[in-house]
């Protein structure tokens, strides 16, 4: 009788452990994607912004396009904005 109780308890604890790991993994995956997108945006934008600081740099060297286009759907932009705002609120509060 006590053996079946221990077996059931161990089985239940393993299920709880798996559920906790699954939740943690999903949360880290979601936050990781947002962090990667933010980091990628900053890494792409930083070199572009450096050339604006030097007066006449872009006019002297004809190596830069006038505009840089980032292609993404409006739906993805809205999702990113909502998720990023939620992430910042969670970190602040």
pLDDT by residue (tens digit) across 27-36?
888 788 778 8
For 17, 18, 87, the CA distances from 22, given in Å and listed in that order, are 9, 6, 19
Alpha-helix residue ranges (DSSP H) falling in 54-73: 57-60
Domain boundaries, the chain: 2-92
pLDDT by residue (tens digit) across 38-64?
787 777 777 666 666 666 666 676 666
Q: Quick check: helix, strand or coil at residue 61? A: coil
Q: pTM here? A: 0.39
């Amino acid at each position: 009788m006590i053996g079946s109780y221990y077996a059931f308890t161990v089985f239940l604890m393993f299920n709880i452990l798996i559920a906790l790991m699954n939740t943690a993994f999903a949360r880290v995956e979601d936050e990781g994607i947002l962090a990667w997108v933010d980091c990628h945006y900053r890494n792409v934008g930083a070199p572009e912004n450096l050339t604006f600081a030097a007066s006449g740099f872009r006019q002297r060297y004809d190596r830069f396009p006038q505009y840089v286009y980032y292609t993404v759907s409006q739906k993805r932009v809205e999702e990113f904005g909502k998720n990023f705002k939620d992430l910042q609120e969670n970190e602040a509060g």
